[in-house]
Chain A
Amino acid sequence: MAERNTSFNIILYNSVAVIIGLLISTGLLAFMKINPFDIVARTLSKIFADKYNIGEIFVKATPLIFTSLAFAFTYKANLFNIGAQGQFYAGSIAAVSLSLLLGGRVPRVLLILIVFITSALAGALVGGCIGIAKAKRNANEFLVSMMSTYIVNAVMDYLLRTALQETKAEYMQTDAIVPQSYLSIIIPGTRVHSGFIIAVLAAIAVWIILDKTILGFRIRAVGMNKHAAELGGINTKLIFVISFLIAGGLAGMAGVTEINGVQHMLLRNFNSSIGSFGIGIAILANANPIGCIFASILFGFLNVIGTTMGRLPGTAIPASLVELIEGIVMTCVIIATALRVYMGGKAEKQRMKEGGEA
């Protein structure tokens, strides 16, 4: 009963926070001497008039599900993995290299399977290094994960300039992968691909691992009280490494959905903000894996709103509006979390008082 009450409260407070955040950010459009209501109405009608645009919401949500899970997973162990971007890049490099190498030479299903496993391993490699640094040397994990992103980015730039560069050698991007290595489109007339289903399955798998297995119990125990967990015989260092390995693997898989599902090539500064958005989504979802699915769809929607607004004729709304909206929404959600805890504590006190008097 109490638990259901809390999740209801979380959803209530966070929804209000999201709405307030959206109101504030659309209000900012007034600075551009644009009528916010008019522009929002035009944007929404444009999005919902077209199946393709509605599909884009799920296309944008797909990698965000993975990166938010990558943050949420370590967050349960009270660790901060803010390097999902780098783990995603590692996965992308693996995905594009293998697709270029094997595309058209092996059957599609086998290829996709290989690509998924390798990309997850590539992401897990980056994540695992962070976990080991934390476990062995007690290094500050969010500092190391943050820095690892810049390093993977530099590696990616180097590869894009040399080994992986397109045959024309004009831009810093790879050749397009062959259609035999694409993830299949699941809704005709849109870009929604099977990666979305895989992302949802991954979220469910993470929920099962965290909530229904011994490993998940250990991870949560370490997250709640490291010292108590250690006294209880849990190898906390091993848990650090495992959490980061899995988180890295999840972020790495986003590389497949983006390379084989959407972009069909790797280019410079590819999806450069999905890592940080993943953190916001995980917070919005209170690090609940199933919540991450819905919060990702919401952020995907915000993303589509932003890009559609930017393309409306007669306005010059910058695409950076998306970041502004998402930043404001995240801040509102964090403040709402504080309010919720505060109000919860107050209600608890009230109940105890009443109970005492009765």
Chain B
Amino acid sequence: MTNLLYRTILMSTPLLLGSVAEVFSERCGVMVCAIEGIFLIGAWGGFVGTYLTHNAFIGIMLAILCGTALSALYAFVTVTLGQQQVVTGTALNILAAGFCAFFQRVIFGVPTSPLVIDTLPILRIPILSNIPFIGTILFSQNIITYLAYLLIPLSYYVLFKTSLGLKIRSAGENPVAVDTAGINVTKLRFLTVLVAGSLGGLAGSFYTIGYVGMFTTNIIGGRGWIAFAICFLGNWTPYGVLFGTLAFGLADALSIYIQAVSTSSYFPREIVIALPYALTIILTVMRSNLRVPAVLGIPYKKDN
């Protein structure tokens, strides 16, 4: 039980980072549909950086850099050029998959044994980690998890209590008004997507550096899309997505746990694998009172 909850927190970390990234960009009017590719390239960057330098910090930095670079391309096409976001996202997801697989081969050739890196060490918070039960679950995690949880109040503060947050939210509700107020909507959206990309890259690196210690091209397996979905289900608020990620983290942890335990071949363990995806559909269909940002997905073109 403790182990399961510990894993829930562990598995919800990247989803949390990814969905907060989406909250920012979607509040601003841009859906980052390349999130799956950003996760993947982050996972790859994190792996390569850590493997080559034996330094997880450099790995994380490279992951953030890769995620930001891909989101810059995404922002250029969707924000600057105003192209279809879903379509661009699909293209960049394929591009990222090909890019990672290709350069993995360029850098490492065909390895005879699997390439492995050390996963991030567990940081025990003094005193707090000694609390029974809660200490093991909440305060014996790795650094990225702590960062992800600090991000929730921080992003709430930025989005709802600062003038920057007001600008971001207004750009997703009424970009004309924001433009009239003398703020460059394109620039604002571009920068927000870059921030989202860096968070997405960090999220991706969690899978390689923080969890598996290896890189495979199917390591993300749709979790970027799940982060995308959680943003919708969490009603575009940081605290909303926190609940969402915990639910999906639990589903993810359960699925890994049951796969490890089940031995009977007729037991449909695929049900458990499909659980997070089914949950997404069910919740998307059930929730109809969503407060969608008014111009979500619509490119802003200045009339001149």
Contact = CB atoms under 8 A, between A and B. Distances in A.
Interface of A: 28, 31-32, 80, 82, 133, 137-140, 142-144, 146-148, 150-151, 154-155, 157-158, 161-162, 273, 276-277, 279-280, 283, 316, 318, 320-328, 330-331, 334-335, 337-338, 342
Contact of B278 (A142, A151, A316, A342): A151
Interface centre among A133, A146, A158, A162 (most CB of B within 10 A): A146
Nearest to A153: B274
Category for how many chain B residues contact A: 35 or more
Given A147-B225, A150-B274, A154-B270, A277 B106 contact: no
Interface stretch (B95-103, B150-158, B234-242): B95-103
B222 interface: yes
B177 interface: no
B180 interface: no
A139 B282 CA distance: 10
B125 interface: no
B277 interface: yes
B103 A137 contact: no
A147 B229 contact: yes
Given A147-B280, A154-B273, A158-B268, A331 B86 contact: no
Given A320-B101, A325-B98, A148 B265 contact: no
Contacts of A31: 103, 106
Contacts of B84: 283, 334
Given A140-B232, A334-B83, A327 B270 contact: no
- Interface of chain A, main secondary structure: helix
Contact of B94 (A150, A151, A327): A327
A325 B102 CA distance: 10
B73 interface: yes
B129 interface: no
B281 A147 contact: yes
B95 A158 contact: no
Contact of B288 (A137, A142, A318): A137
Given A154-B273, A279-B87, A32 B106 contact: yes
Given A154-B273, A316-B105, A334-B88, A133 B95 contact: no
A338 B94 CA distance: 20
A82 B110 CA distance: 33
A338 B77 CA distance: 8
B77 A318 contact: no
Given A80-B86, A324-B98, A327-B97, A146 B284 contact: no
14 contacts: A140-B284, A143-B280, A144-B285, A147-B229, A147-B277, A154-B277, A157-B273, A158-B268, A316-B109, A316-B110, A321-B102, A324-B95, A327-B98, A337-B83
Nearest to B101: A320
Given A283-B87, A318-B101, A334-B77, A273 B270 contact: no
A145 to B, nearest CB: 10
